[in-house]
Amino acid sequence: MGLIITILIFGFIILIHEWGHFIVARKSGVFVEEFAIGMGTKLWSTEKNGTIYSIRLFPLGGYCKMKDEDTAGSDPDSFSNATMPKKFAIIFAGAFMNFVLALVIFIGITFFSAVATTTVREVTENSPAQEAGIQAGDIIYKVNGKRVRSFEDLSFKISGINSTNKSSEKIDIILKRNGELLSFSLTPKYDESLQRNLIGISPVLKNGLFSKDVEGVEKNTFFGTIRDGYFNMIFTIKVTIIGVIELITGGIGLEQMMGPIGITPVIDSQYESAMKVSVGATILTMLNIMALLSANIGVFNLLPIPALDGGRIVFLAIEAIRGKPIPPEKEGMVHFVGFVLLMGFGIFIAFKDVISLI
């Protein structure tokens, strides 16, 4: 079941991404030659208004092929002849739609599930938080000078992206108590069972607006739901960007990366666990995974790497600086080399995932 769900999730995310390119290209007057979901051999296709719509063999990919995308063209409906703002809008639209999808899903989930707030519900006995003087009812406002918008964000700022980092460094916390801002310094403790740094607080929960009433748990508001869903998306994007930086700088290793093959058993495990609770819980769990992956794919596509949307945006920036475009044939060759390297990297990650499964 995990494999089917993985294909459906990635297929829908790719569809939304390519549709972003497609619809903005059409609105910008650029002709789309083919809109494809999947890569490799064509399994099915149809033509409408000159555009080929196809489904291809390998479901983990897709593309929106525009007229004269990698060659010089003089036709008014060619991509190479479009203005720079239009080119940027077309290229950025794919990742933008991934972020929109993530936002819509996160907001939808928040309507039906509880959210952990930054308000302290309980302080653990003999914990760093208790020793520092933090009390129930306090609202965590900043950690090390940075604003905290959610409990997940708070936990991340305390523990960091690397769960094995047994930090003994002090952190500065600013909180609100009875409308007054108070400052505290404390040192988190590493929990071996959870493998993360903790300060010893549990959050106040807000129940989903459309969830069943729970005694003692306040209902979220409509605008509170929108806000919490938005900050969930922002947090996911931020963690993804930090993860990429940590990967480049060596803070985390390639062994912590997973491709679709590695994600499949995780999705299968989450599915099996959620089905033991209810169908509703399963739907919310799978949607949450889709939102996380959509935000991740959006960030990945904006990396300044040839063949990715971010790589194309780099060429637009160079064009803006030079005052004239780089010849499309040369740019196309760079993107082709980048595509080959990305395929090689993808094969490496797939091989690593298979080895891990074995």
Q: What is the pLDDT of residues 173-196, one digit of tens each?
A: 999 999 899 999 999 998 888 788
**Pairwise CA distance, residues 21 & 96, whole Å:** 9
Cβ atoms of residues 22 and 8 within 8 Å: no
**Pairwise CA distance, residues 253 & 268, whole Å:** 24
What is the per-residue pLDDT for 161? 59
- The amino acid at residue 60 is L
Mean pLDDT of 88-108: 97
Q: Of these residues, 18, 69, 152, 331, which one is catalytic?
A: 18
Tell whether 195 is covered by a domain. yes
Q: What's the start-to-end Cα distance of the chain, in Å?
A: 19
Tell whether 86 is covered by a domain. no
Residue 116's pLDDT band, with cuts at 50, 70 and 90, is very high
| Number of independent structural domains in the chain | 1
Mean pLDDT of 209-217: 88
Is 147 strand, coil or helix? strand
Residue 164's pLDDT band, with cuts at 50, 70 and 90, is low
Pick the closest to residue 138 from 92, 185, 201 (CA basis): 201
Q: Nearest-5° angle of CA 232, CA 238, CA 242?
A: 145
Residue pLDDT, tens place only, 267-276: 999 999 999 9
What is the per-residue pLDDT for 35? 95
Backbone φ and ψ of 323, nearest 5°:
85, 0
Mean pLDDT of 326-353: 85
pLDDT of 281 higher than 60: yes
Residue 163's pLDDT band, with cuts at 50, 70 and 90, is low
Residue 167's pLDDT band, with cuts at 50, 70 and 90, is low
Tell whether 70 is covered by a domain. no
Tell whether 275 is covered by a domain. no
Q: By percentage, how much of the chain surpasses pLDDT 70?
A: 97
What is the widest separation between alpha-carbon atoms in the chain? 73
What is the per-residue pLDDT for 104? 97
Tell whether 129 is covered by a domain. yes
Cβ atoms of residues 39 and 54 within 8 Å: no
Between the alpha carbon of residue 172 and those of residues 135, 189, 201, 217, 281, the distances in Å are 16, 15, 15, 29, 37
Tell whether 264 is covered by a domain. no
Tell whether 198 is covered by a domain. yes
Mean pLDDT of 8-16: 93
Is 238 strand, coil or helix? helix
Mean pLDDT of 199-213: 92
Mean pLDDT of 79-94: 93
120 vs 193 pLDDT, higher one: 120
Which residue segment(s) compose the domain that 183 sits in? 115-207
Whether 18 sits among the annotated catalytic residues: the reply is: yes
**Pairwise CA distance, residues 228 & 114, whole Å:** 11
pLDDT of 115 higher than 70: yes
pLDDT of 302 higher than 80: yes
What is the per-residue pLDDT for 46? 95
CATH number of the domain to which 141 belongs:
2.30.42.10
**Residues 6 or more apart in contact with residue 51 via CB below 8 angstroms:** 31, 32, 33, 34, 35
76 vs 358 pLDDT, higher one: 76
Lowest mean pLDDT among 65-69, 293-297, 351-355: 351-355
Pick the closest to residue 53 from 209, 68, 90, 43 (CA basis): 43
Mean pLDDT of 260-267: 89
What is the per-residue pLDDT for 168? 65
Pick the closest to residue 293 from 240, 350, 216, 219 (CA basis): 240
Q: How many Å is the Cα radius of gyration of the chain?
A: 23
